Amino acid sequence: MTWIRKYAPKSLKEYVNQKEAVAKFLAWIKNWKPGKKPLLFYGPPGVGKTALVYAYAHENNLAVIELNASDTRNYSTIRKVIGSSMKGATLFKKGKIFLIDEIDGLAPRYDAGAVNELLKIVKESRYPIVFIANDPYSPKLRHLRENCELVAFKKLSVYDVERRLKQILDAEGIKADKQVLRAIANRNAGDLRGAINDLEVVARGKKEITVKDLDVLGYREREENIFNTLKIIFKTKSPIAAKLSIMNIDKDPDEVFWWIEENVSNEYEKLEEIAKAYDALSIADIFRRRIMKRQNWRLMVYYTDMMTIGVALAKKEMYRKFTRYKPPSVLRTLGMLKYTREKEKQELKDLAEYLRCSTKKVKTEFLPFLKLIYKDRFKDK
């Protein structure tokens, strides 16, 4: 179990700071009733937005039903996954609280009425709902923002982060120089989650840590670029470092998968290591397909672990060389195919409108004959 999960606050007493946000949340939930506006938590990553909901729920014996909007992508899937659960009762808990994370990642281009329909679900719910966003002022969230109560979360102070890191080390029985905790707190700029992840990379399996141990962290930016992520995965032998390498990158996991797949043979030189790396990627790809087919997003952790930890541990020793990483050719191909599919889709819509029928009927009944007609015409010419 990662330290983020192991040391997540189980009560509001363990929760770190955010006094104003906590006060607003408690006032809202104590007076909540069906039809009341949902909350919209917003603020930088790693400052306790999700942790507050879980801490309160654990303390009050509530079930948390969490959904990641950026993974779910559209309204129809949201309705399918949680629509019925919002009306049903719970057997072993006093109640429920719904948490819809990364709502600013909802993609209206896939379902133009996503936000409007989501608000309909809110009105039907028998339980309180909390949305979470990094940027609530995104234009696509305007309607949602107008129908929610906003709660701001601020960056945590260096002192707050440092104190929590010290508590974790004490619980693990690990000694540390004060400069180590201060350095980790400073480099994460108020992001407690990032600080705990860094601490775990440095300290796990040790009895004492010093400033020299910080070298393993390197000098990452708040938003990693793909080349830094690849460098960590291909160069490290630490499972934790490989796993955490994709946490701050601003790319879809599927895109990261293809970047890794493209560059395995560029980095690794031994056939045995290349085979092991591709074997790990093939298992990751199985999980990816199951996620897409079954919409089972709980498998995401196995997908990302196999493509990061699996590939990192495929090598016996780190290659101390410079590697020029290449963008994946498959993405260029998929991009061209996507353009072709969109063009065909639009042509089908135009034909359907002209023939006054559905696109399905055009595709199955008319298109085969149209292809034959045009084929014969071209032959004559």
pTM over 0.75: no
The residue type of 33 is K
Neighbours of 351 (CB within 10 A): 17
Cα–Cα distance, 372 to 18 (Å, whole number): 68
Smallest Cα–Cα separation from 202: which of 339, 25, 3, 23?
A: 3
176 CB-contact burial (10 Å; exposed 0-12 / middle 13-18 / buried 19+)? buried
Smallest Cα–Cα separation from 188: which of 9, 309, 54, 44?
A: 44
Q: Cα 35–37–39 angle (5° rounding)?
A: 140
- Give the pLDDT band (50/70/90) at residue 372: low
Smallest Cα–Cα separation from 205: which of 213, 194, 215?
A: 213
Cα–Cα distance, 51 to 281 (Å, whole number): 32
Percent residues over pLDDT 70 in the chain: 80
Write down the pLDDT at residue 11. Answer: 93
Asked whether residue 135 carries a pLDDT value surpassing 90, the answer given is no
> Are the beta carbons of 40 and 103 closer than 8 angstroms?
yes
The pLDDT tens digits of the residues spanning 24-58 come to 999 999 999 888 889 999 988 889 999 999 999 99
Q: Where are the beta strands (DSSP E) in 208-336?
A: 208-209
